[in-house]
């Protein structure tokens, strides 16, 4: 139904992403009781990109608690593109929220470890625990992005000026670039989302990966900023906490029920996969799972 839709364009500011086959299209749904439904290019490993920000936020809250993360990063929509320098200068918090680049780099910088390698390994292991499977870096994506991430380095320098970054700014950018280059299949991504939906317990392994009390903070942040300056329209039309990545993935969480992950590289102007938005929106309407609709919370 959506397969033939050719609207949108691959991200091209990261050279690797411009070369990814724009016809790739995969869908996965994983329920909190670990029922798995997949369709299309489900084994293709694509870079998680900004969807990683959700899981580094979760790890930061595990380590520091939500209050400290809120104090250091905040949770305000920027109303600007995800890589905005203007938002950093203009906003009183300078970081915006953990799901835009500046706030995400600041969040990554909060993760503890005795050196950069151990901080990075901690993040990668945490993502693997959320997925219930071992994940790894797509080296080519990392190299392509590290060679072209001058904008993120500028954001980190500004964060230092405003005292909103912990430790060495360029180290934080490098770890952040690695976390964006982690490869996932749609099924692995949906499993990560199902962990959030399942109050932090991975439905595959049964492991408590996130604290249940941190989940509302994650879902609130996703609702408010998960699709960047497209988040308001998304909340209006679909009503599910979601997060997009410029690799072409979108992950939507249905609290208590499961998650849906869609991968299709062509993006709209805001950097969100066009087909993924259409598929999730269709499913949400068909299943009446808009979080803001009375029926979905048992009030009808």
Q: Which residues here bind ligand DON, judged by CB under 6 A? A: 49-50, 82-83, 101, 145, 152, 180, 244-246, 271-272
**Least distance to ligand DON, CB of residue 182, Å:** 11
Structural contact between residues 39 and 61, judged by C-beta atoms closer than 8 angstroms? no
3-class secondary structure per residue, the chain: CCCCCCCCECCCCCHHHHHCCCCCCEEEEEECCCCEEEEECCCCCEECHHHHHHHHHHHHHHHHCHHHHHHHHCCCCCCCCCCCHHHHHHCCCCCCCCCCHHHHHHHHHCCCCCCHHHHHHHHHHHHHHHHCCCCEECHHHHHHHHCCCHHHHHHHHHHHHCCCCCCCHHHHHHHHHHHHCEEECHHHHHHHHHHHHCCCECCCCCCECCCHHHHHHHHHHHHHHCCHHHHHHHHHHCCCCEEECCCCEEEEEECCCEEEEEECCCECCCCCEHHHHHHHHHHHHHHCCCCCCHHHHCCC
Q: How far is the CB of 250 from ligand DON (least distance, A)?
A: 9
| CA dihedral angle for residue 191, residue 59, residue 184, residue 249, rounded to 10 degrees | 90
Shortest Å distance, C-beta 93 to ligand DON? 19
Q: Which residue number, 200 or 271, has a Cβ lying nearer to ligand DON?
A: 271
Minimum CB distance to ligand DON, residue 219 (Å): 18
In whole angstroms, the minimum distance from the beta carbon of 52 to ligand DON comes to 8
As measured in angstroms, the least distance from the Cβ of 286 to ligand DON is 25
Q: Kindly state the smallest distance separating residue 145's Cβ from ligand DON, in Å.
A: 6
Task: Decide whether 82 or 126 has the Cβ nearer to ligand DON.
Answer: 82
Gap between the Cα atoms of 11 and 89, Å rounded: 25
Angstrom distance (rounded) from CA 200 to CA 215: 7
Q: Cβ closer to ligand DON: 101 or 188? A: 101
Q: Which residue's CB is nearer to ligand DON, number 158 or number 204?
A: 158
Of the pair 244, 277, the CB lying nearest ligand DON is at: 244
- Residue 31 vs 152, nearer CB to ligand DON: 152
Let me know: does 146 contact 199? Beta carbons within 8 Å. no
CB of 257 to ligand DON, least distance (A): 25
Q: With respect to ligand DON, which residue has the nearer C-beta, 105 or 201?
A: 105
Q: Tell me whether residue 49 or residue 296 sits nearer to ligand DON (CB atom).
A: 49
């Amino acid at each position: 139904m959506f397969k033939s839709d050719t609207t949108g364009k691959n991200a091209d500011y990261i050279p690797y992403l411009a070369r990814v086959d724009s016809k790739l299209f995969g869908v996965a749904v994983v329920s909190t009781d670990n029922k798995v439904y997949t369709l299309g290019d489900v084994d293709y490993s694509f870079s998680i990109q900004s969807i990683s920000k959700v899981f580094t936020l979760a790890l930061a809250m595990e380590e520091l608690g939500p209050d400290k993360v809120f104090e250091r990063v905040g949770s305000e929509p920027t109303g600007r593109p995800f890589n905005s320098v203007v938002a950093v200068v203009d906003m009183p918090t300078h970081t915006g929220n953990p799901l835009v680049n500046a706030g995400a780099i600041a969040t990554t910088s909060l993760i503890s470890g005795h050196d950069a390698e151990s901080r990075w390994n901690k993040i990668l292991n945490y993502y693997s625990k959320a997925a219930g499977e071992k994940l790894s870096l797509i080296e080519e994506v990392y190299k392509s992005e590290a060679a072209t991430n001058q904008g993120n380095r500028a954001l980190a320098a500004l964060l230092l000026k405003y005292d909103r970054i912990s430790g060495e700014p360029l180290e934080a950018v490098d770890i952040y670039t690695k976390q964006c280059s982690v490869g996932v299949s749609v099924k692995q991504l949906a499993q990560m989302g199902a962990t959030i939906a399942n109050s932090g317990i991975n439905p595959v392994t049964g492991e408590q990966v996130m604290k249940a009390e941190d989940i509302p903070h994650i879902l609130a942040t996703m609702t408010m900023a998960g699709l960047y300056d497209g988040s308001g329209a998304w909340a209006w039309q679909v009503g599910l906490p979601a997060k997009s990545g410029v690799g072409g993935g979108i992950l939507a969480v249905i609290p208590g029920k499961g998650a849906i992950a869609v991968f299709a590289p062509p993006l709209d102007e805001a950097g969100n996969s066009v087909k993924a938005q259409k598929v999730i929106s269709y499913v949400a309407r068909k299943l009446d799972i808009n979080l803001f609709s009375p029926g979905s919370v048992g009030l009808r």
